[in-house]
Amino acid sequence: MSAHSSESEPTAALLVSRRASLTSEVILLELRHPEGRELPAWSPGSHIDLLLPDEMVRQYSLCGDPADATTWTVAVFLEPEGRGGSAYIHRSLQEGTTVRTRGPRNHFAFGSGKRVLFIGGGIGITPLIPMMAEATERGLDWELHYGGRSRTTMAFADDLLTRFGSDRVHLIPQDERGLIDLETLIGTPRTDTTIYCCGPAPLLDAVETRCAAWPTDALHIERFTAKAVDDDQNTSFEIELSATGVTLTVPQDRSILDVLDDQDVPVPSSCRDGTCGTCETMVLEGVPEHRDSVLSPSEQESNETMMVCVSRSRTPRLVLDL
Ligand code: FES
C-alpha cells in the first residue's frame, strides 16, 4: 500500500450501461466510459467511490472481471437504515444515466497462499468474487463460506455455485442453517491458510476474535463500516508538517484531518471514518495510535503510514510527510 494513494486518483463520469435486480434489495450496475474508452486497471479486492449529489461519497467493491477494461461492475445493497447513498443509487441510477466515480483503489489485495478460505456475509461477498476467479486461475486450493439472511437475499448464490461448483462454494442461509460455523472453520489456527473476509461488522469482529491466535497477517478483512472507537480518552497532541516545519495542535475533540482542513493543507479524504484509505499519510516521526479499519496489523505495527481522519498519536508529537 502506498501513502497518498489517492492524490492522483482519476475521476470520471461513467455511463450506467446495464442495471439488473439481483434480489429485492440488491442491484447490479455496469459502468462504462461514455465514449467507450478504457477504464483504469484494477485488481481483485479493489473498490471505487461513487460521487453522489450533496457530497455523498460511497464505496463499492468491483465485482466483475479485471481483464475487461471497458466495464466496471458494482452491486449495491439498499441499506434499510442508510444515510441516503444507496437509496439515491437505487432510485436514480438507471440505464443511460451517468455517475461520477473516483478510483479504483485497493486496500484488500489478494496475495499468495497455498490454501485460501473466503468468508463472505451478505453484500460483503462482492470483493471476494474476483478473488475466487483469480484463485481458480492460479490453481489454488480454496473454498468459500457465504452467509446471508436467506437464500433469496444472497445476490450471487446461484452465480457462484454455477461458476465454481458446490465442492468449493458453501452457502449458509441463516434461516436454513444458522450462522457460519466459525469455530469449525477457523477455531484451530493453521499455517497453510490465508483468510479473506468481508461482510457485516459482527461477522468481521467474530472472525477477527477467533483469528487472534492465527499467524500475523493470515487474516485479511475489508470493512465498509467503521470499528467502534471510544473517544472519551482522547488527548491533544502536536503534528509537524515536514514540508514547511509548521506545527499544529490537534485538540482532543478534533481529528488531524479536521485541523489540516482548517489550515487548508490539502489531504484527500472520502469516508472520514477510517474505512476507505483515501487519507493515508506517511509518518516520519512519532508513533500513531491507529484507529482505522484499513491497515493490516503488520502495516499498523510498522507505523509507516496512518489514516489521519481517525487515528491519533501515542507520542506528544507526530511529524507527517505533508
Ligand atoms: S478518509 Fe477514508 S480512511 Fe480517512
pLDDT tens per residue, range 267-307: 988 888 999 888 999 999 999 999 999 998 889 999 999 99
State the pLDDT at residue 29: 98
Structure-block grid coordinates of residue 15: 455511463
Sheet arrangement for strand 47-51: 57-61, 47-51, 98-105, 11-21, 26-32, 72-77
Is the bond into 34 cis (omega within 30 degrees of 0)?
Answer: no
CA of 271 to the centre of ligand 1 (A): 5
State the pLDDT at residue 7: 45
Ligand 1 pocket: which residues have CB below 6 Å? 269-272, 274-279, 292, 294, 307, 309
Element (H, E) at 87: helix 85-92
State the pLDDT at residue 8: 57
Cβ-Cβ contacts under 8 Å for 91 (sequence gap 6 or more): none
pLDDT of 142 over the 50 cut: yes
pLDDT of 205 over the 90 cut: yes
CA of 10 to the centre of ligand 1 (A): 17
Q: What percent of the chain is predicted at pLDDT more than 90?
A: 84
Determine the average pLDDT of the residues in 209-214: 94
How far CA 229 is from CA of 9, 65, 164, 274, 312, in Å, comes to 29, 36, 39, 11, 12
Furthest CA-CA distance within the chain: 61
- Nearest to 173, CA basis, from 155, 186, 187, 159: 155
CA of 296 to the centre of ligand 1 (A): 15
pLDDT of 221 over the 90 cut: yes
pLDDT of 264 over the 70 cut: yes
State the pLDDT at residue 2: 34
Q: Which atom of ligand 1 is nearest to the CA of 279?
A: 4
Structure-block grid coordinates of residue 188: 484451530
CA of 154 to the centre of ligand 1 (A): 29
Q: Considering the chain, what is the average pLDDT of its residues?
A: 93
Question: To test ligand 1's pocket by mutation, which of 279, 295, 305 has the most ligand atoms within 8 angstroms of CB?
Answer: 279
Confidence of residue 6 (pLDDT cuts 50, 70, 90): very low
pLDDT of 230 over the 80 cut: no
Task: Report strand pairing: 237-241 vs 305-307.
Answer: unpaired
pLDDT of 154 over the 60 cut: yes
More confident residue, 51 or 113: 51
CA of 76 to the centre of ligand 1 (A): 20
Confidence of residue 171 (pLDDT cuts 50, 70, 90): very high
Least confident of 4-18, 59-73, 181-195: 4-18
Q: How far apart are CA 39 and CA 33, in angstroms?
A: 7
Contact 205, 137 (CB under 8 A): no
Q: Which atom of ligand 1 is nearest to the CA of 270?
A: 1
Determine the average pLDDT of the residues in 196-202: 95
Question: To test ligand 1's pocket by mutation, which of 5, 269, 282, 322 has the most ligand atoms within 8 angstroms of CB?
Answer: 269
Contact 320, 312 (CB under 8 A): no
Question: To test ligand 1's pocket by mutation, which of 55, 272, 293, 306 has the most ligand atoms within 8 angstroms of CB?
Answer: 272
Q: How far apart are CA 107 and CA 73, in angstroms?
A: 18
- State the DSSP string of 24-45: SSEEEEEEE-TT-PPPPP--TT
pLDDT of 1 over the 70 cut: no
pLDDT of 228 over the 80 cut: no
Q: How far apart are CA 197 and CA 227, in angstroms?
A: 15
Question: To test ligand 1's pocket by mutation, which of 108, 258, 270 has the most ligand atoms within 8 angstroms of CB?
Answer: 270
Q: Give the start-end residues of each E strand in 52-140.
A: 57-61, 72-77, 98-105, 115-121
Q: What letter would DSSP give residue 152? A: G
State the pLDDT at residue 126: 98
- Nearest to 125, CA basis, from 68, 198, 37: 198
Q: Which amino acid is at 197?
A: C
Sign, CA dihedral 145-146-150-154, equals negative
CA of 205 to the centre of ligand 1 (A): 20
State the pLDDT at residue 113: 78
Q: Which atom of ligand 1 is nearest to the CA of 269?
A: 1
CA of 149 to the centre of ligand 1 (A): 30
More confident residue, 41 or 229: 41
Q: Which atom of ligand 1 is nearest to the CA of 308?
A: 4
CA of 144 to the centre of ligand 1 (A): 29
Model pLDDT for residues 79-91, shown as the tens digit of each residue = 988 889 999 999 9
Task: Report strand pairing: 98-105 vs 11-21.
Answer: antiparallel
Question: In the chain, how many H helices and how many E strands?
Answer: 8, 18
